[in-house]
Amino acid sequence: MGLHLYNSLTRSLEPFVPQRPGHVSMYVCGMTVYDLCHLGHARSMVAFDVIRRWLQESGYCVTFVRNITDIDDKILRRAAGNGESLRTLTDRMIAAMHEDADALGVLRPTEEPRATEYVPAMQALIGRLQEQGFAYRSADGDMHYAVRRFAGYGRLSGKSLAELRAGERVGINDNKADPLDFVLWKSAKDSDPAEARWDSPFGVGRPGWHIECSAMCASLLGQTIDIHGGGVDLQFPHHDNEIAQSEAAHGVPLARYWLHNGFVTLGQEKMSKSLGNVSTIRDILQHVDAETLRFFLLRSHYRSDVAFTGASLDDARLALRRLYGALAAVPVDAAPAEASTACIASMASIDGQEPYAARFRKAMDQDFGTPEAVAVLFDLASEVHRSHCPRLAGLLRSLGGCLGILQQEPASYLQGGAAVDRADIEARIAQRAQAKASKDFAWADRIRAELLAQGIALRDTPSGTTWESVSRLG
């Protein structure tokens, strides 16, 4: 049937047909870099990394743009509070973001524009909106977008103008002609530092948040792109506002397909800084390896909400170890595939009639159905354990690679995170072998039990005794 995507704009599953055969243009809203990335950011990064990977695996060359918002009220407040420049703060947070994304196996975007690099493009777009009657200057010097002049505003989020009351996610400002109007250009305040001030036809100031993405997207990918993505919380107002700005200015659709990932929840609340329930990526990685966190996130469909608990993360860890256990049991000659941002089609080298591969493709072609694809991996792992077939073990590694997992050396992964020194473990294994040779099975059992209590499980195989780290999160 081919690849089908759920389009948030039409609220339906649609066949994917890019504008240019063999090429995909994709823009995803990135981070506002005033703080460390949290688990919600990880969800979006991993979700769109899997989408990007599968597009590439399907033979498309993907131009993937994920922006960086490096000018914003939150950034100004944080930099002032820290006593540092905006550039120092944002450079530091961008470096931390890259460290977190790299740890999670997220491929770097084709382009990663910083908003401050595209201010002239933003000014040009605002000027065009002003010429066409969609933008006006208020008494306080700010430039605003006149929402009611754009027919169909809110069609992405499904919110009608009648439903959008003042004060509901839209700040009240007496200087605006309408409470629903949003800012395009903010006039400079006396407290704003020099690096947050740009000369413009609208006066000295800085861009609003929404205009940033419209300008960067058009500059790098064109006026109409194939896929626009982001978290579901961005549908309103950010993506509705992007549509209003871009389509009013250019007269063509901004994106042909809109994709949105779901929330990460703690209990019954979505994870967000405003709720004060944020867990940063690096905090979590103090307790669990990065591939387990990635696996935890992709076990759920990208559009669904994910409940984050220690128990669910521990379950993901044990499940991933089962997959690696199958690879450890059957050596695979082929080296792990290196991640690539180029146009690739590794699935083309896999027999399309192979039942596991066919099931995997069918799952992923239905709006990137990772839960079903992961189920195929577990069925395949069970078959590898039964058959000890190197070909199927190689297939397991290859299919896992499509999701960005199972590319580590199995023994290294399974032994990772051990709280006991490796040399001590090997010494205890040697003592146990001596005990078994002396037929002192009580001693041998005691050594096994003591190691297990320390999170080390021994596995007796025809080629000798191996070990794994099985400590839980607690």
What is the tens place of the pLDDT at every residue in 388-413? 999 999 999 999 999 999 999 998 89
For the segment 412-424, the average pLDDT, to the nearest whole number, is 77
pLDDT tens digits, 276-285: 666 899 999 9
Q: What is the DSSP letter of 111?
A: B
pLDDT at 246: 98
What is the overall mean pLDDT for the chain?
Answer: 90
Nearest 5°: the CA angle 469, 471, 473 is: 140
The pLDDT of residue 410 is 94
Would you state the pLDDT for residue 335?
41
Burial of 368 (0-12, 13-18, 19+ CB in 10 A): buried
Considering 9-18, 165-174, 413-422, the range whose residues carry the highest mean pLDDT is 9-18
Residues 411-426 have a mean pLDDT of 77
Q: Are 52 and 44 in contact (CB under 8 A)?
A: no
* pLDDT score, position 468: 72
**What mean pLDDT do residues 423-435 have?**
82
- Stretch(es) of the chain classified as CATH 1.20.120.640: 313-414
Give the CATH number of domain 313-414: 1.20.120.640
In the predicted model, is pLDDT for residue 191 greater than 70? yes
Q: What is the C-alpha to C-alpha distance for residues 177 and 144, in angstroms, rounded to an integer? A: 9
430 vs 197, higher pLDDT: 197
pLDDT > 90? residue 101: yes
Question: What is residue 344's predicted lDDT score, i.e. its pLDDT?
Answer: 39
According to the model, what pLDDT value does residue 231 have? 97
273 is in an annotated binding site: yes
At residue 204 the predicted structure's pLDDT band, cuts being 50, 70 and 90, is very high
pLDDT at 205: 97
Residue 273 has pLDDT above 90, yes or no: no
> Burial, 185: exposed, middle or buried (Cβ in 10 Å; 0-12, 13-18, 19+)?
buried
Tell me whether residue 57 is annotated as binding.
no
Judged against a pLDDT cut of 60, whether residue 20 lies above it is answered with: yes
User: What's the confidence (pLDDT) of residue 400?
Assistant: 97
Query: Which range is least confidently modeled, 218-227, 253-262, 452-461?
Result: 452-461
Strand, helix or coil at 22?
coil
Residue 221 sits at φ, ψ, to 5 deg, of -125, -15
Buried b (16+ CB within 10 A) or exposed e, 381-420: bebbeeeeeeebbbbbbbbbbbbbbbbbebeebbbeebee
Q: Could you tell me the pLDDT band of residue 349, with boundaries at 50, 70 and 90?
A: low
Residue 119 has what pLDDT? 98
Lowest-confidence region among 42-46, 112-116, 353-357: 353-357
Q: At CA 39, angle to CA 38 and CA 40, rounded to 5?
A: 90
The residue assigned the tokens 């905006």 is 86
| CB-CB contact of 70 with 303 (8 Å) | no
Instruction: Please state, in angstroms and as integers, the Cα–Cα distance from residue 264 to each residue in 41, 131, 233, 371, 399, following that order.
Output: 9, 42, 11, 16, 26
pLDDT tier at 471 (50, 70, 90 boundaries)? low
**What is the pLDDT, as a whole number, of residue 271?**
61
Amino acid at 89: L
Task: List the 255-261 sheet strands across, edge first.
Answer: 61-66, 23-28, 225-231, 255-261
Question: Comparing 384 with 434, which gets the higher pLDDT?
Answer: 384
Question: Taking a C-beta distance cutoff of 8 angstroms, is the pair 396, 404 a contact?
Answer: no
Task: State the pLDDT at residue 173.
Answer: 61
Q: Is the pLDDT of residue 474 over 80?
A: no
pLDDT of the residue at 169: 46
Q: Is the pLDDT of residue 16 over 70?
A: yes
Please report which confidence band the pLDDT of residue 333 belongs to, taking 50, 70 and 90 as the band edges: low
Give 4-275's CATH code, choosing from 1.10.10.60, 3.40.50.620, 3.40.50.2300, 3.40.980.10: 3.40.50.620
Q: How far is CA 230 from CA 19, 43, 82, 302, in A?
A: 21, 10, 29, 11
Q: What is the pLDDT of residue 451?
A: 78
Comparison of pLDDT for 279 and 20, the residue scoring more? 20
Residues 80-97 as b/e (b if ≥16 CB within 10 A, e otherwise) read eeeeeebeebbeebbebb
State the span(s) of the chain assigned CATH 3.40.50.620: 4-275
Q: How far apart are CA 429 and CA 448, in angstroms?
A: 8
Q: Is the pLDDT of residue 456 over 50?
A: yes
pLDDT at 36 over 80: yes
The pLDDT score that the predictor gives to residue 350 is 66
pLDDT, one tens digit per residue, over 102-125 is 999 999 999 999 999 999 999 999
Local confidence band at 168 (pLDDT 50, 70, 90 cut-offs): very low
What's at 274, amino acid-wise? S
> ∠117-121-125 over CA atoms, to 5°?
145
Query: What per-residue confidence (pLDDT) applies to 305?
Result: 96
Task: Tell me the average pLDDT across 92-102.
Answer: 98
Residue 37 annotated as binding? Answer: no
Tokens 């703060």 correspond to: 89
- Token reading at 140: 């306080």
Give the orientation angle of helix 390-402 with respect to helix 355-365, to 10 degrees: 10
Structure confidence at residue 447 (pLDDT) = 81
Q: Does 342 have pLDDT greater than 50?
A: no
CA 237 from chain center: how many Å? Answer: 21
